[in-house]
Structure 1
Amino acid sequence: MTGQALTSLLISALALPVSCRVNQRVPKKMLIENGAPTSADKRLINDTIEEVQWVAALKPNTVGVAEYRDNEREYLEVAVLSITARHPAQGDGRGAAKRPANATRLAELVHRAVPYPVLLLLAAPQGVFLSLAHKRWAQNEIGKVVLDGEPVTANLTLDLEAEHPFAQALALDHQPQNSLLVLYQGWLDCVTDWHAAQYTGTFTMSDTPAQAAARREALRNCQRLESERARLRSLAAKEKQMARQVDLNLALKRVNAELASAREQL
């Protein structure tokens, strides 16, 4: 399956009502003006994005889900965007896009450029990415919206099928409907469940917000412990002193035990 085909599959999997569909092309200039703080970021957007499509706008009057407001944030709308990044061979004639786009940075820039929370589907040469990021009011600038933490992104496999439990879990009517904030968190939890499945081998949805939070914490532990395991393995491979090798191997065993325990919490 191609990246564009998978993107179309995922948009269909969202099962969005006609009432919220926009299906409008967005000029790259808007992303550059609102989400590119450096010249390198401007080049990344300009040279690697082929097309930006505004798929849908989820509002109380288009999906029947209430807006959300508190002192930290307001969710009046959730935007669904689809972006196609250029293949390296599709350069602009001036040597642009010779390497695959930095998908992680590109997704972050898109989230920063749009004032609403975004469900982003990014089809890049190295895969299709589903990315979400919460928003909140800036602390020092009245009226400005900033990211609330790092974007949560899943690198999806191109063999994903419509019958896969993850694809089915994305459907709008499978998300909590209390408010747009809670709905958006439901999609974020789906991405967490996808990451957990990379460890467990089986995709299962979190049953409650408490379970989803515990799974997020377990995932953070797994990622931290995997990084530590890689660091220890690298040190052990380079170490020449026998006593130090023993210490590193013992530390590696402890980390492996902790990692196995963290995986069980998923």
Structure 2
Amino acid sequence: MITTFLDNLGLPKSCELDRTIFKKMLSDNVDLDVTDKKALKDDVVKIKWTHTLKPSTINIEAFADNTREYAEVAILSVELAKPDRAKRIAGFIHKAIPYPTLLVMAHGPQIAISVADKRINQADKSKWVVEESWLTQWFDPSTDDTAANAFMAECHISGLPFTNFMAFYGALRDRTIAMIAAERSGHYTLATPERTENNIEHLHEIDRLTREIGELKAKLKKTKQMAQQITLNTEIKTRKDAIMKLESSMR
């Protein structure tokens, strides 16, 4: 299913690379903790650098300022034996690749797309800092899922800006965030920059509320007092209602 999504991008053959990335390359280029190393060893089956987009392979200019450098865009495919630690795996792959990167992760017939905001490390200009990474839920690109089809259609290069690589990658990032929002709202809409930022704020708030619900449920399991149980259940419901309101506002 990786090829279904990659073919859908409509990239010219000049961008094809098809180079295997060995696990040792990742472990040599980024600090991995014990859980990272286990995920890399047990969960990752194969990583390929499928496409490289740079001025010599596609008619898009590089972009650079004091904070960000978009000399090229890398597209990688990642086959997983297990999907549970996909977000962690995407995180350390983004740290290892010194370019804006589009990850197409696959498990069985399903894929998940990941992008990341990166900036130049001001203390060491030769290094990158991953500010935030984004990962969609798993979906089958060959099905008739409305949101997935709309997302894939919007990712075709004919609809992406060719101004420079920052604009090009930024458009892919916005579409990925719109897909993540669609998983919450049930409806995919390509957002304006203002709407994208609004969705990001809502997704952050949903994550915060979800963590609080988990903490409250843990307390609920431990308490024996009826009054405290009622209070905790009320607080959980309040947060669930807030999540539902945030989700509906992302339509």
Unaligned runs of 5+ in 1: 1-5, 88-98
SS of corresponding position for 1:84: strand
Tell me the residue number matched to 1:30: 25
How far the C-alpha of 1:126 sits from its partner, in A, is 9.8
| 1:224 to 2:208 alignment | yes
State the 1:160 CA deviation: 4.6
Number of residue pairs the alignment of both structures matches: 247
Aligned to 1:51: 46
Task: Name which of structure 1's ranges 73-82 and 173-182 shifts more when overlaid on structure 2.
Answer: 173-182
Hey, which bits of structure 1, 4+ residues long, moved more than 6 A?
Answer: none
Task: Select between 45-54 and 7-16 the one with higher mean Cα deviation.
Answer: 45-54
Match runs of 1:1-266 below 5 Å: 6-38=1-33, 41-42=36-37, 44-85=39-80, 87=81, 102-124=85-107, 127-149=110-132, 151-158=133-140, 160-161=142-143, 164-206=149-191, 208-236=192-220, 238-266=222-250
Structure 2 vs 1, CA of residues 161 and 125 (structure 1 numbering), >3 Å: closer, same or farther? Answer: closer
The change in CA–CA distance for 1:182 and 1:44 in structure 2 (over 3 A counts) is same
Letter in 1 for 2:24: K
The structure-2 alpha-carbon separation of the partners of 1:101 and 1:260, relative to structure 1 and needing over 3 Å to count, comes to closer
Aligned to 2:57, the other structure's residue is in SS state: helix
In structure 1, what residue type is equivalent to 2:97? V
- Name the CA distance, whole Å, in 1 between partners of 2:246 and 2:34: 41
Distance (Å, rounded) in 2 between the aligned partners of 1:62 and 1:232: 52
Task: Name the stretch that deviates more: 167-176 or 40-49.
Answer: 40-49
> Within 1, Cα distance between the matches of 2:197 and 2:31?
32
Post-superposition Cα deviations, 1:122-141, rounded to whole Å, max 9, x if no partner, equal 22469532111122111322
TM-score (norm 2): 0.85
**Matches of 1:101 and 1:184 in 2, distance apart?**
27
Q: 1:228 is matched by which residue type in structure 2?
A: E
Paired amino acid for 1:155: Q
Q: Deviations over 1:172-228 (max 9, x none)?
A: 22223332112212112222111211222122211x111111111112222222332
Measured after TM superposition, the shift of residue 246 of structure 1 is: 3.3
**Structure 1 residues 68 and 233: alpha-carbon distance in aligned structure 2, compared to 1, 3 A threshold:** same
Q: So what's the TM-score if we normalise by structure 1?
A: 0.80
The structural deviation recorded for 1:159 is: 6.1
> CA separation of 1:252/1:57 partners in 2, compared to 1, >3 Å: closer, same or farther?
same
| Identity, % of aligned positions | 29
